[in-house]
Amino acid sequence: MPDLAAIDEAISHSVIGAFIEVYNTLGEGFLEHVYALALEQEIRGRGHEVAREFAAPVTYRGRQLAIQRLDMVVDGRVVVEIKATLELHPTAKRQLFNYLRATNLEVGLLLHFGPKPREYRQISTNPRGGARGQREP
């Protein structure tokens, strides 16, 4: 059986590398959609599968309330949320955590195309569980 933590780490590392490449090429100031398209192209170029606008059901007591659209999911393992704002809103990290809770995925990356490129990694035990750790560079 493969080591899923190592797979998730390798995917995360590749996505972060793609993020830095896109940021260094485009710089700051574009709309989120432009960065998402460039990032998708760069991640695919690195040999990964990318699901854009991934539909995640939000449930309450076993009943579906809504469908939440995630920016992307890479290789069916890592949630990627993109922000292209001057400042990263404090709720962005909570949003990523909730996206993990709405899926059976355990690793999420928040990529901020702001004045400086910043990434935030969230790890959550699942199914639909609480945080087991987080890292912010």
Identify the residue whose tokens are 């606008």: 53
Report if residue 136 sits inside a domain. Answer: no
Bridge-partner residues for 54, per DSSP? 70
Report if residue 114 sits inside a domain. Answer: yes
The residue that leads in pLDDT, 77 or 125, is 77
Range of the domain at 100: 4-130
Please give the model's pTM, rounded to 2 decimal places. Answer: 0.85
**Cα separation, 69 vs 47, whole angstroms:** 23
Report if residue 98 sits inside a domain. Answer: yes
pLDDT at 60 over 80: yes
The total of structural domains in the chain comes to: 1
pLDDT at 84 over 50: yes
Between strands 131-135 and 117-124, the pairing is antiparallel
pLDDT at 131 over 50: no
Report if residue 137 sits inside a domain. Answer: no
pLDDT band at residue 126 using 50, 70 and 90 as cut-offs: low
Helical spans, DSSP H, in 46-127? 91-102
Q: Return the CATH number at 38.
A: 3.90.320.10
Residue 124: the pLDDT is 78
Q: Let me know how long the chain is.
A: 137
Report if residue 64 sits inside a domain. Answer: yes
